[in-house]
Amino acid sequence: MYDIKNIYQPKSVGEALKMKNEHPEALLLAGGSDILIQIRDGKLAGSDLISIHSLEELRGISLEDDGTILIKPLTSFSHVTQNPLIQKFIPALGDAVDQIGGPQIRNIGTIGGNICNGVTSADSASTLKAYDAILEISSVDGIRVLPYADFSKGPGKVDLKPNEILTGIRILKDSYENTYGKYIKYSIRRAMDIATLGCSVNVRLSDDKKTIERLRIGYGVAGPTPMRVPTAESLATGKLISEQLIIDVATATLIDVNPRTSWRATKEFRMQLVKELCKRALKAAINQAGGTI
């Protein structure tokens, strides 16, 4: 039984924005894989809902004229994984969302809902941060553009005003061109479990494949929000690839992270995972880029 006070069903994004402005307390219903469970459990009982599920203009992935990849927020996890643009340019993102829940959840759950929940364990979040994603956030007042790096405000909190809707996720050409990535998720079970820790690494190598030109490392559950580790990233810039460099980078990740102890894992175990998953993901990314270790 779902205790819902009112449900509004806009026919366009413009109408949805108007409804959100008129009913700022109303919750957005996209795939429903999270919010309906919370309503059923009583945590959000009696809520007003604005269902945007049928708005096709918020669904799909496209390549813009300047090479930017635009991911619409209602795109399901399954469609992200299967999309030819994602498979060609950002396969690490497809791999990440393909590890969310089971097939049913991946068919209805949306990438926009995954990051707007603000949870640190969101599988798409660390990869989107590692690829410098940019968010398009809309309201009746217009559109504002925000780096995803600035979107997370705390556990379960994001920079989304009561009258705003996420309408686009952009990854610039400079963020994915000649860049190769790997996402590794550690969880208690192999399937249908949230991450104990997630690590997403992408790397760009020099023309001779011997030097790291740019490194990005994103984590989930390594802190209260999805995060990057700038100390480790900067350490690798311009350095020759070696086993020792990988060890040094993995060790440097510990400077910026701040995992906690929970029933899933202790802080100490998560710190070990932070270091080990970085090593494995970095090695895999370097190999994909044509480098050797």
For residues 75 and 170, membership in a common domain is answered with yes
Domain boundary among 126, 158, 174: 174
For residue 287, count other CB atoms closer than 10 A to its CB.
Answer: 14
Task: Work out the pLDDT band at 193, boundaries 50, 70, 90.
Answer: confident
**How confident is the model over 69-91, as pLDDT tens digits?**
999 999 999 999 999 999 999 99
For residues 167 and 186, membership in a common domain is answered with no
Whether residue 106 is contained in a domain is answered as yes
State residue 31's pLDDT score.
83
In this prediction the pTM is 0.94
Whether residue 144 is contained in a domain is answered as yes
For residues 147 and 91, membership in a common domain is answered with yes
Whether residue 52 is contained in a domain is answered as no
91: domain CATH number is 3.30.465.10
Whether residue 224 is contained in a domain is answered as yes
Whether residue 261 is contained in a domain is answered as yes
For residues 64 and 135, membership in a common domain is answered with yes
**Which residues form the domain of 215?**
180-288
For residues 108 and 24, membership in a common domain is answered with no
CA atoms within 13 A on the CB side of 157: 4
Q: Which of 179, 177, 173 is CA-nearest to residue 202?
A: 179
Q: Which residue has the tokens 């299967």?
A: 82
- pLDDT averaged over every residue in the chain: 95
**How confident is the model over 87-114, as pLDDT tens digits?**
999 999 999 999 998 889 899 999 999 9
For residues 122 and 75, membership in a common domain is answered with yes
Check whether 44 has a pLDDT greater than 80. Answer: no
**How confident is the model over 148-160, as pLDDT tens digits?**
999 999 999 999 9
State residue 196's pLDDT score.
96
**How confident is the model over 247-259, as pLDDT tens digits?**
999 999 999 999 9
Whether residue 169 is contained in a domain is answered as yes
Q: Virtual CA dihedral for 286, 217, 237, 150, nearest 10 degrees?
A: 150
Helix (H), strand (E), coil (C) string for 140-207: CCEEEEEEHHHCEEECCEECCCCCCEEEEEEECHHHHCCCEEEEEEECCCCCCCCCCEEEEEEEEECC
The residue-averaged pLDDT of 196-224 equals 98
Question: How many domains does the chain divide into?
Answer: 3
For residues 123 and 18, membership in a common domain is answered with no
Task: Work out the pLDDT band at 202, boundaries 50, 70, 90.
Answer: very high
226: domain CATH number is 3.30.390.50
Check whether 1 has a pLDDT greater than 80. Answer: no
For residues 276 and 187, membership in a common domain is answered with yes
Whether residue 51 is contained in a domain is answered as no
